[in-house]
Amino acid sequence: MRKELEDKLARRWPAWFDLDADSIASAMARGFECGDGWFNIIWRLCSDLEPLVAELERETGVRFSVVQVKQKFGTLRFYVSHHSDAIDERIEAAALDALRTCEVCGRPGWQRGTYGPVVCEEHADQENE
């Protein structure tokens, strides 16, 4: 993901995304390891998680953070420090949304092959060039 989009997410949720973290402590030091096309999915996911995270932090007294965001086997992976069933449900819904969204541009797409990327027709053609 482009740095400007990563920074936008990190500025909006600074307690969640530590892009300057020690690489041993958090994979977020490598940034968001997915394409720009999934930015809106990640933004919506984080917005949906806000009240759930606030409740979880109140209940547990433990600060929530995002440990890693990446594409793996064509799917969105969003790993967090701790979670609840409701948080897991939102993350899974975002991953399913990503399976229908071009990772490059955000338009409708589909997964190419069993573990291939999720891309639209335009970006599938570019992949073969």
Q: Is the Cβ–Cβ distance between 106 and 40 less than 8 Å? A: yes
104 touches 36 (CB < 8 A): yes
10 Å Cβ neighbour count for 52? 18
How does pLDDT run across 78-105, given as a tens digit for each residue? 999 999 999 999 999 999 999 999 999 9
Range(s) of the domain holding residue 97 = 3-127
**Which of 93, 74, 77, 75 lies closest to 28 in space, CA to CA?**
77
| Residues 6 or more apart whose Cβ sits within 8 Å of residue 106 | 36, 37, 38, 39, 40
Residue-wise pLDDT for 6-49, tens only, equals 999 999 999 999 988 888 778 998 999 999 999 999 999 999 99
Domain count, the chain: 1
pTM equals: 0.92
